[in-house]
Structure 1
Amino acid sequence: MLTEIRDASLHARGRERIAWARRFMPVLGAVAGELDLTGRRVGLVLVLEPKTANLALALRDAGAEVVVTCPAGETDDETAAALVSEGVAVLARSDASPEQDRDFALRMLRQRLDVLVDDGSRVVRLAHAAGLLDGLAGAAEETTSGLRPLRVMADRGELRIPVLAVNDARSKYLFDNVHGTGQSCVMAALDLTGLQLAGTVCVVAGYGYVGQGVARYARALGARVIVTEVEPFAALRAHHEGFEVRPLLDACPEAALVFSATGVAHTITREHLGAMSPGAVVAVAGGVPEEVETGDVPPGVTVLADGECVNCAAAEGNPIEIMDLSLSVQALAVDHLVTHGPAMAAAVHPMPGELDERIARLKLRALGIGLDVPSALQREFLERGL
C-alpha cells in the first residue's frame, strides 16, 4: 500500500478520536451509505484530522480506493496512523519538509486518480503544472482562496478539468465558513494565548463569510470589534451589522488581537505589524501563504502558528457538527464527478442545487427540525408569478 507516515504505533488513539467524531456526523453516514464508488480511485487533500478521516473511511466503505495527503502543518499523526491501520493509503507526516509535501502530492497524482478533492487548489494546480491529469474526471475545491486561482485559470483557458465549487454550496459556506471557522479560530487564538477577549479590541481584516464569523464570535465574547475591508459593499454590510469599520493601518495600534480573514497574500504587511502595540497577537483565519508577512515581526508582536491557518495548524479545526455538512458536500461532489465529470466542460461549476438542498434536509432531519409545506394556494400564487 502506498503509504508514508510518521509513526504507525499511534493508531489506537487516532481510531478512538475518529470514532468520537463519527458519533456526531449523521449526514455523512446517510449520504455515504448510498454511494457506489467501486473501482474508483479518489485522492483527498484535506486537513488530516479525525473529522476528515471519516470522509476517507466513508469513501472507502463505498468501494473507492482512497489516497490521502496533507501538508505537514495540517497533519495529525494519530489520525494518519489510524487511517493506515484501516487500509487507507496515506502520504503525510507532521515533520515533512515542503519538498516532501510536494513529493507526496506528486506520488498521489501518479496513481491515476478518478477524482481529486482539494483544499486551496494546491494539488489541482500542481497536477496541471506536472502534466498529471490523465484519467482525472474532475476535482472538488472546498475553499474560497482555492477557487480564486482556478477561476483565473478558467478565464485564461488554462483549466483542463471540471472543478466543482464545493465552497460555494450553501450547506458549506453558510455554516462552515461563518460558524465553523468563526468559532474555531477565535477559540484557538484564546486557547493558545490564554488571553481574555472581553474588553479588548479585536481587529478583523476582511468581512467575507469567514470574517463575518470571526467578528461575530469575538463580539459575543465581549471584544470591541473593528472590521477592515477593501470592498465597499462588505464594508457597508459590516457597518450596518453594528461593527466599527476603519482602515487596517489606523486600527492596528489599538488592537490586542488581529485576525486576517481575507484569503489574500500580503494582507498584513510589515508596515501593519510595525504599527501594532507590544503584546499584540496576530492570527490567520482560513488563509493562504504569506497572508501575514512573517519575515520580520517586531519584538513584542506574536504571530500565531507561524501565520498558518490557526484553527487547523494549532488546534482541532472546525466543530464536528459543522464538518458533517461540509464533508457530506464533498462526498456528493465525488459521486457527481464520477458520474458526470467526463461529460462536463473544463470550468468551475456550481454544486448542483438539488444535492445542496438534500444535505440541508438531511441535517434538519437529524436535528429533529420540521419544515412547513407550501399550501396549494401558495403554490398556485408562486406558479402564476404574481
Structure 2
Amino acid sequence: MKGYEVKDLSLAPHGRQRIDWADREMPVLRLVRERFADEKPLAGLRIAACAHVTTETANLVRTLQAGGAETVLIASNPLSTQDDVAAALVAEWGVSVYAIKGESTETYRNHVHIALDHRPQIIIDDGSDVVATLVKERRAQIGEVIGTTEETTTGIIRLKAMERTGVLTFPAIAVNNAQTKHLFDNRYGTGQSTLDGIIRATNILLAGRTVVIAGYGWCGKGVAMRARGMGANVIITEVNPIKAVEAVMDGFRVMPMIEAASCGDVFITVTGNRHVIDREHFARMKDGAVVCNSGHFDVEINLRALRELAESDPITVRPFVEEYRLRANGRRIIVLGEGRLINLAAAEGHPASVMDMSFANQALAVEYLVKHKGELSPGVHTLPAEVDTEIASLKLRSLGIEIDRLTPEQIEYLSSWEAGTA
C-alpha cells in the first residue's frame, strides 16, 4: 500500500460495493478498461489526477491503472469526496489517494503539492488548480509534463488565460468541450444532481416555488429544464445576449439578478464567474431565500459580503444548511454547502451513466496525449471528433440502440457541390 490520506480505511468494503454498483452503469468506460488491460497504452506513466473522489472517478482511476499508469488521486473540492470510495481505492486497488470530505483549504493545497511530488507526466485536472500551481510554483517540473486534460468549463477558462499569457507550454485537452461530455454531463448530469443536492439538503418542495438560475450555459439549461419539470417557476439571469434570447425562446423569464433577487425562493449559480450573487442582491431577498452554487469554485456567491451583512455567525440548521440573519431587516438567508458544489456537497454528484461518457473521454484523452507526445503544440486542444463519435457509438451499443448509416450515394452527395434541385 502506497502513501495516502483518507478518513477511515474501515469504510473500504462499503466503498467497494458502491464502486461496483456505479460500474454497472458505465459500460463505455468498462470497454475502454478492458482494451487498456490488454494493450497497456499507459505502461509506466505517472499521472496526477485532481477530481471529485466519487464512485465514478474510482472507475476512471481503475481504467488508468488497467492501462499501466501509476496514479495519484487528490480531491478537486474540499466537500466533494466520498470517504468510503477514497478508502476503497487505497485498500482494494492500492491507489495513492489524498482526499477527505470537509478537508481545509490548507489541506487541499497541501494535497495539490503532494500530487506534484509524484512528478506527473500527465495531469488530469478539474478546475486547473494543479496546472496553475505547477506553472506558478513548480516550474522546474514543467519539462516532465506531456500534457493535461481538463474536465470543467472553469478550468478551460483558466487554461486559455494561461495560453494567452504564454505560460502554458504543453498541450491541454479540453475534455469538457467534447460533445459527449458537455452536451450530456453538463446538461443532464448537472441538471439532475443539482436539484438532488438541494432536495437532500433541505427537503423542500420545488413545485410552485420561483427558482432563479444564474447562467444559461449547458449546466444552466440542464438545471432549468429539471426545475421546470418539477413544477418550479424558473427565472434566468444572463450577461450573454445570445444565451438570454435562447432562454426566452425556451419559455423562461429573463431579467437582471438585481430584479430577480426580490422574486426568487431558490437561487442557483452556474456561471463559472465570481460574485454573481453579491451584497446588493442579498439585501433584496425574501425571508428564507435559499442560495446555492453548482459552479466549480466557491466564488460565485459573495459569502464574505453576506457575513458582513449578517448580525452574527450563521447557524447550522441541517447538514450543509446554514442560516444567516441580516442585521438590517431580520430576514434569513439560507446558504447550502458553504457555497461549494451543492450536487457533490449534499448529494453524490452526477449519475454514473452520464459520467460513463465523460470519463471515457478522459481515459481516451490521456491515451491521445501519450500517442501524440511531442506532436501537439502547446495550448488548448479539442479532443478529435472521431474519438467523440466512437464514445457516442459505444454508448448507443451499450443501450441496444441502432441508428442508420449513410449509403455510398448519400456520402457522395454530401461531398459534392454539383447536385442541386432534382
Q: C-alpha distance in 2, partners of 1:342/1:377?
A: 40
> What is the CA-CA distance between 1:76 and the residue it aligns to?
1.6
> What is the CA-CA distance between 1:345 and the residue it aligns to?
1.2
Q: Does 1:66 align with 2:88?
A: no
Task: Tell me the secondary structure at the aligned position of residue 230 of structure 1.
Answer: coil
1:48 pairs with one of 41, 48, 53: 53
Task: Tell me the secondary structure at the aligned position of residue 140 of structure 1.
Answer: strand
Segment of structure 1 superposing worse, 90-99 or 102-111: 90-99
> What is the CA-CA distance between 1:3 and the residue it aligns to?
1.4
Structure 1 residues 94-133: aligned runs within 5 Å: 94-130=101-137, 131=139, 132-133=141-142
Q: C-alpha distance in 2, partners of 1:219/1:163?
A: 36
Q: C-alpha distance in 1, partners of 2:408/2:59?
A: 42
Structure 1 residues 91-240: aligned runs within 5 Å: 91-130=98-137, 131=139, 132-240=141-249
Q: Which residue of 2 aligns with 1:8?
A: 9
Question: Could you tell me the TM-score, scaled by structure 2's length?
Answer: 0.89
Q: Which residue of 2 aligns with 1:79?
A: 85
- Which of these two proteins has the greater Rg computed from alpha carbons? 2
Determine if contact 2:187/2:223 at 8 Å carries over to the other structure.
yes
Segment of structure 1 superposing worse, 323-332 or 333-342: 333-342
Q: C-alpha distance in 2, partners of 1:8/1:47?
A: 18
CA RMSD of aligned residues (A): 1.2
Q: C-alpha distance in 2, partners of 1:225/1:377?
A: 47
Q: Which residue of 2 aligns with 1:373?
A: 405
What is the number of residues matched between the two proteins? 386
Q: C-alpha distance in 2, partners of 1:363/1:163?
A: 25
Determine if contact 1:138/1:163 at 8 Å carries over to the other structure.
yes
Q: C-alpha distance in 1, partners of 2:14/2:374?
A: 40
Determine if contact 1:282/1:303 at 8 Å carries over to the other structure.
yes
Q: Percent identity?
A: 41
- For 2:168, give the aligned amino acid: L
Structure 1 residues 286-325: aligned runs within 5 Å: 286-297=295-306, 298=310, 299=325, 300-325=332-357
1:343 pairs with one of 348, 355, 375: 375
> What is the CA-CA distance between 1:296 and the residue it aligns to?
4.1
Determine if contact 2:33/2:67 at 8 Å carries over to the other structure.
yes
> What is the CA-CA distance between 1:10 and the residue it aligns to?
1.1
> What is the CA-CA distance between 1:95 and the residue it aligns to?
4.4
Q: Which residue of 1 aligns with 2:415?
A: 383
Determine if contact 1:114/1:338 at 8 Å carries over to the other structure.
no
Determine if contact 1:74/1:312 at 8 Å carries over to the other structure.
yes
Q: Which residue of 1 aligns with 2:96?
A: 89
Change (3 A) 1:29 1:253: same
- For 1:157, give the aligned amino acid: G
Q: Does 1:358 align with 2:390?
A: yes
Q: C-alpha distance in 2, partners of 1:372/1:104?
A: 48
Q: C-alpha distance in 1, partners of 2:264/2:81?
A: 31
Task: Tell me the secondary structure at the aligned position of residue 69 of structure 1.
Answer: strand
Q: Which residue of 2 aligns with 1:326?
A: 358
Q: C-alpha distance in 2, partners of 1:103/1:39?
A: 25
Unaligned 5+ segments in structure 1 are none
**CA-to-aligned-CA distance 1:94-152 (integer Å, 9 cap, x gap):** 24321221111111112111211000111110111122323110000010011001101
- After the TM superposition, list the runs of 4 or more consecutive aligned residues in structure 1 that deviate by more than 4 angstroms: none
- For 1:332, give the aligned amino acid: L
Unaligned 5+ segments in structure 2 are 311-324, 326-331
Determine if contact 2:64/2:71 at 8 Å carries over to the other structure.
yes
